[in-house]
Homo-oligomer: A and B are copies of this chain.
Amino acid sequence: MEEVQEQSKNALKKAEKQAKAAAAKAAKATAVPAAGGKGKKGDDSKEIIGITVSKEGNFSQWYQEVVIKAELVEYYTEIAGFYILRPAAMHVWKAIRAWFDERIEAMGVEETSFPMFLSSKSLEKEKEHVEGFAPELAWVTKAGDKDLEFPVAVRPTSEAVMYPYYAKWIRSHRDLPFRLNQWNSVVRWEAKQTTPFLRAREFLWQEGHTAHLTEALAHEEVLQILELYAGVYEQLLAVPVVRGKKTENEKFAGGYWTSTCEAYIPTNGRGIQGATSHALGQNFSKMFEITVEDPEKNRVNVWQNSWGLSTRVIGVMVMLHGDDKGLVLPPRVSRIQVVLLPVGLTAKMSQEDKDKHMIHVKELGSSLKKAGVRVHIDDREGYTPGYKFADWELKGVPIRLEFGPKDAAASVVSYARRDTGAKGTIPIAELSTQVPQLLETLQQDLYNKADEAFRSHRLVLTDWEKVIPALDSRNVVLMPFCEAVACEERIKELTKSEEGAIGLDGLKQPSMGMKSLCIPFEQPKDDGLVLGETKCLNPECSALAKSWTMFGRSY
C-alpha cells in the first residue's frame, strides 16, 4: 500500500479538487452519518462526513475512509500497525471460515491449535526459512518483572512450531496423509507502512500443514487447496482470480514451488496476490527429520505442503467492489443482505395508521427471514429516509427495500440495488422468491463486472515497447519469459516509469516497476509463443522463453 500512498500524494490536484467538491455536494444532499464516530460524543446530530474523496481521485484515502466508515475496522491507536476487526468484517471472515472448513474437513484435514510462541532454540533449527522473518519477530523477554531465561518469539508462521511434533507423530506411511490446519493470528512486526487488511502487524489467517508419502500426492493437494482459495474469491467475494505458479523469484522461501491465485484492482491496474498454496518438497522434512517407513520398508522423508489464507481477502474485496458512496458487499458474505425501511410516514398520518404500517413492515421482514434472507429493519426514529439510505449505502448493504403507504396500496415493495443503483418494485406475493434471486443476480453481476475488467486488462504482449504504456493504462501483461531470477530483477528495473508520468486516464502513474504475478496454468493459446524458439521478451535477455508469465505493478 505504500505505493498507493505515493500515488495519492502525487495525484493531480485537479482530481482531488473535483473529488472534494463532489463529496461536499453529496454530503449536503444526504447528510451521511459519522459512522467512524468522529463526532462529538453523545451528540446524536447527523454529521456530514461520508466518504470525502472519490475512488478514482484518491484511491488510498478512499480505501482508508471506507474501511473505517463502513465499520469494518478501527485503528488501534495504542500500538501502530494494529487494527480492530469489527463485526461487519468478522462476518465476512466467518463466512469464509465456514465455507473453507467444511471443504477441508471433507478432505480429511483436522483442526489443531499450537502455542503462539517459538523458542529461540527451534528457530535456530531452520535458519534459512526464518531468516526472512527475523527482522519482524516480536520477542517476549520478560514475564511480570522477571527476565525470561530464554526469550520467545510470537509466531510469524508456524513451521518451526509444528514440525518438531510432526517428526514425533508421523511414524509410518500408514499415518499419511497427515493433515492439520489451524485458525489463528500471527505477528509480523512490519517496518513498512501498514494498511488495514493488506498489511498489518497482526493478522488472522488459517495455516494448513500437511505431509504425504509421495511428491505426486502432495502435488495433488496443493492444487486442490488452491482451487478452494480461488473458490473463496470467486464464489464468496465475487473476485475473479488467475490461478498459476509463482516464479522462483516470488515463491515461498525454503519451499519447493508455490501455487497462487492473483487478483486485479481496476482502479490502479495493480495485481494483488490472493492466497498461496505451497509445495514444500522435502526441505523441511529433512530439516526436522520427518521420516516414515514406506510400504517397501525404506525410510523416506515425507513430502510436505503448507497453505494459508488471510484477512487480506477482505481488503481485496473492498478495493474491487467499493464505489464513491462507500462499501459494496457481495450478498453471500454480507452480514445484512437486505435493509428494509419504512418510508412515507408523514406527520399527517394518524398514529394508528403508522402502527398498522409498521406491523406490515415487520411481517415483510419475517417472511424474508423465513426465506433465508439476512434482513434488517431500520426503524430508527429521528432520522430521515435520505440519511438512512446514505448510511446503508456507505455500509455496503446489497439491497435496500423501501415500503411506504403507496407501496402498500399497490401491494409492492420498492427496491434499490447497491451495486448499480437500479430501482424497481417487487410484488409482495413474490418477495420471498424474488429477493433471494435478486441477491444471487447481484452477486453474479459483481463477479461478471470484475471479471470483464480483469480480462480486458490482461494484455498478451510480444512487443517490449508496449509494456510500459500497457502498465500506465492500468493493465497487467502476459509476455514470453525465461523465468530466470536475474532476468526478473532486471525487468523490475527496466519497467520503472519516469517520475511523474501521466497515464492515459490523465492521472499520474506510480513509478514502481512490474514484477511477475504468476505463470498462469491456463496459458494463452495461438499467440505465437513456441517453446524452444520464442525469446524472453526482456530485450536485454537472450534466453528462450519458458512460458507466458503474467507481470504487473502489484501490492
Please list the residues of chain A having a beta carbon within 8 angstroms of any beta carbon in chain B: 37, 39, 41-44, 74, 76, 78-79, 82-87, 90-91, 93-94, 110-119, 121-122, 134-145, 151-152, 154, 161, 164-165, 168-169, 171-172, 174, 180, 184-185, 187, 189, 202, 204, 291-293, 299, 380
In the bound complex, residues from chain B placing their C-beta under 8 Å from that of A184 are 185
In the bound complex, residues from chain B placing their C-beta under 8 Å from that of A117 are 79, 82, 202
* Complex CA–CA separation, A42 to B138 (angstroms): 37
In the bound complex, residues from chain B placing their C-beta under 8 Å from that of A169 are 37, 74
In the bound complex, residues from chain B placing their C-beta under 8 Å from that of A113 are 84-85, 90, 93, 185, 204
Most chain B CB within 10 A, of A114, A180, A291, is at: A114
> Nearest 9 CB-CB pairs, A to B?
A87-B110, A143-B189, A135-B144, A78-B119, A85-B113, A82-B115, A139-B142, A90-B111, A138-B140
**Does B180 contact A87, Cβ atoms closer than 8 Å?**
yes
- The contact of A165 among B44, B84, B202, by CB within 8 Å, is B84
**Known contacts A41-B168, A139-B143, then 15 further A-B pairs from the complex at CB < 8 Å, ordered by chain A residue:** A41-B171, A42-B299, A43-B171, A44-B171, A44-B174, A74-B168, A82-B115, A90-B110, A90-B112, A93-B113, A113-B204, A116-B154, A117-B202, A136-B144, A142-B151
In the bound complex, residues from chain B placing their C-beta under 8 Å from that of A299 are 42
Most chain B CB within 10 A, of A117, A121, A168, is at: A117
What is the predominant secondary structure among interface residues of chain A facing chain B?
mixed
- The contact of A202 among B41, B90, B115, by CB within 8 Å, is B115
**Nearest-Cβ distance from residue A166 to partner chain B, whole angstroms:** 11
Kindly report which residue of chain B lies nearest to residue A190, judged by CB atoms: B143
* Complex CA–CA separation, A519 to B472 (angstroms): 72
**Does A144 contact B189, Cβ atoms closer than 8 Å?**
yes
- The contact of A111 among B78, B87, B164, by CB within 8 Å, is B87
* Complex CA–CA separation, A366 to B470 (angstroms): 56
- The contact of A174 among B37, B187, B380, by CB within 8 Å, is B380
* Complex CA–CA separation, A419 to B205 (angstroms): 39
A-B contact pairs, 23 of them (CB 8 A): A42-B292, A74-B165, A74-B168, A78-B118, A84-B113, A85-B114, A87-B180, A90-B110, A90-B113, A113-B185, A116-B154, A116-B185, A116-B202, A135-B144, A138-B140, A138-B142, A139-B143, A140-B141, A140-B154, A141-B142, A142-B151, A144-B189, A174-B380
